[in-house]
A and B are shown apart, each in its own frame.
Chain A
């Protein structure tokens, strides 16, 4: 029944007998809720309530004449027919299709190389690969924005030195791969370490048994190591998809350096920001942001449900 599948059996029945006063029993029952209450209160006020508020707001429309009127779901119908919104959705999907396979493929390859012992001095790689994760999104976008740049970017400088045509990254064609590269740079090491940690949890006996059977290192990696860390890979995959849908920081920062490469509805979040912040169309932006949050929550709950169902069945 548990949707978490993580309930841990615990021998709590052999507690010493206690005086069964009404208040003490009530206290006992209330204790876990007391421990939970700060979190639950915050959860309700800062996660649930803003969504309800946004949903409520999205059911109205403010007009210049006639004030605020209830319009039902018409803001959602408007969003559904809004080509700006769908263009943003299409952009993040293209971005994700490009970035996620490269990032997770590399992360899996590196984790396998380290865990199988092909690479031995691992500390420098572990630290060096992870370091970009410690850089704020915004700073990563700033660094790469300059790095790509024509005036003092080292790539253009190098190309000029070799008398080559410097590649132009920040154009409307090049912008999606350019942002994808920033995300690959930031998160490959992070995902590598998550997958590597899962690999370290595999009992060594499995490898030894396979070796006795004459399996080589690649067969072991392909047939034992990678299948066994599939849940961790799936986890990183879900995180990546959700992160992709929410893309905002990098395009917003790069927009300043390359204003012609992107429009103000380049990603759904950029569009929502534009609507709420610049256009003050609060009701319509509430409708789109509510849809985005809802889709994200539903997708992640569904995936969780599927994962834990599968795990429970195994």
Chain B
């Protein structure tokens, strides 16, 4: 039942409209604009570093070098890239799972209970939805380097557990998906509040939970500023910081030109998991966008 509420509602479409030719041309041109840089990246990752410079960017070179590139990528700097990917995965999964659970609990509290300070607290949550994580990165860095939390994955994971947007989405979703009668019935049966949440409510809000998880996962996967500040050991880098670091080395005059092809191959490997997640979980991110906008 809740799955249906996530599916986009379709309106009946007329067969043909004036302005179609203009519309398709324009949208087609922009489709090319959005996709060509990605296509270029995928094609470039199949070349040798020399081929990258010698052949035209938007077509394949004679020699497809992708296997060798992958081997070189994972061998470079003693297998640093594999570590970075692992770090990013550990970091994104923990941050996303933790922040989704915390958001679900808080969203449920806002949706289900009347308590002192509810409106004020929710107002604060809403206001902080707009404040991006980057605004807190330097203060966090100053604090974490003082307390000795820096240079651990926890330094990046713990701040990511606080997800005001997730709380906001979970409140709206819970209001839509959980009926008061059901909760009351469970209370009559003598179920405790936490048990009601864990056994009854959680199943109903699972699709909303996946949506929050997805956005938190992508946010954590893509994070750069905070890890750049608080992680100074190369074996702790997430893949974003690692790739930017290699790019910096590759761009030094006369230095390690071969790195360019590794940064390109590494970029492909780094974005593939996200592309797959987005393609397979379309329903959930679209639900997140519509929940965010309708009530926003």
Q: Enumerate chain A interface residues (CB-CB to B < 8 A).
A: 1-4, 6-8, 10-12, 15-16, 18, 27, 29, 31-36, 38-40, 42-43, 45-47, 49-51, 53-54, 57, 106, 109-110, 113, 116-120, 124-125, 127-132, 134-139, 142-147, 151-154, 157, 161, 185, 188-190, 193-195, 197-198, 200-201, 204, 216-217, 231-232, 235, 238-239, 242-243, 246, 248-249, 252-253, 256-257, 259, 269, 272-273, 276-277, 282, 285-286, 289-290, 292-293, 296-297, 300-301, 303-304
Contact = CB atoms under 8 A, between A and B. Distances in A.
A154 B105 contact: no
B127 A297 contact: yes
B289 A249 contact: no
Most B CB within 10 A of own CB, among A136, A232, A256: A136
Given A118-B17, A138-B243, A256-B247, A2 B27 contact: no
A41 to B, nearest CB: 9
Nearest to A301: B127
A2 B123 contact: yes
Given A36-B106, A157-B57, A198 B162 contact: no
Nearest to A124: B31
Contact of B138 (A161, A185, A272): A272
B24 A119 contact: yes
B191 interface: no
Contact of B134 (A130, A139, A194, A248): A248
Interface residues of B, number: 114
B114 interface: yes
Interface in B251-296: 251, 260, 263-264, 267, 270-271, 274-275, 277-279, 282, 286, 289-290, 292-296
B17 A12 contact: no
Contact of A144 (B13, B37, B109): B37
26 contacts: A3-B119, A36-B106, A38-B106, A45-B158, A113-B27, A117-B13, A119-B20, A129-B30, A135-B38, A139-B240, A139-B267, A139-B270, A142-B244, A152-B260, A154-B40, A188-B30, A193-B286, A193-B289, A197-B294, A239-B130, A246-B134, A256-B247, A276-B229, A282-B142, A289-B135, A289-B142
Interface in B80-133: 101-103, 105-106, 108-115, 118-123, 126-132
Contacts of B52: 152
Contact of B132 (A29, A57, A246): A246
A235 B136 contact: no
B286 A197 contact: yes
Contacts of A300: 127, 129-131
B193 interface: yes
B99 to A, nearest CB: 8
B142 A136 contact: no
B78 interface: no
B251 A256 contact: yes
A131 B275 contact: yes
Given A154-B58, A276-B142, 6 more contacts: A36-B106, A131-B278, A136-B270, A198-B293, A242-B130, A252-B244
B41 A143 contact: yes
Nearest to A249: B224
Given A53-B139, A113-B26, A128-B34, A46 B162 contact: yes
Contact of A185 (B24, B33, B101, B229): B33
B278 A134 contact: yes
Given A46-B159, A129-B34, A232-B293, A269 B251 contact: no
Contacts of B162: 39, 42-43, 46-47
Main SS of the interface on chain A? helix
A117 B17 contact: yes
Interface stretch (B63-71, B180-188, B204-212): B180-188
A296 B132 contact: yes
Nearest to A299: B130
B247 A47 contact: no
Contacts of B20: 118-119
Interface in B1-36: 8-9, 11-14, 17-20, 23-24, 26-27, 30-31, 33-35
Contact of A151 (B53, B120, B161, B292): B53
Contacts of B188: 16
Nearest to B106: A39
Nearest to B164: A43
Interface in B143-182: 143, 146, 158-159, 161-162, 164, 167, 175, 180
Most B CB within 10 A of own CB, among A7, A106, A142, A239: A142
B202 interface: no
A138 B142 contact: no
Nearest to B114: A12
A238 B17 contact: no
Q: Which 9 A-B pairs have the closest CB atoms?
A: A154-B57, A300-B130, A197-B290, A32-B113, A35-B109, A54-B139, A50-B139, A136-B222, A39-B106
A248 B141 CA distance: 15
Contacts of A130: 278
A145 B15 CA distance: 43
B142 A54 contact: yes
B58 to A, nearest CB: 5
B213 interface: no
Given A42-B162, A232-B293, A200 B8 contact: yes
B215 to A, nearest CB: 11
A253 B247 CA distance: 8
B110 to A, nearest CB: 8
A189 B286 CA distance: 12
Contacts of B243: 138-139, 142
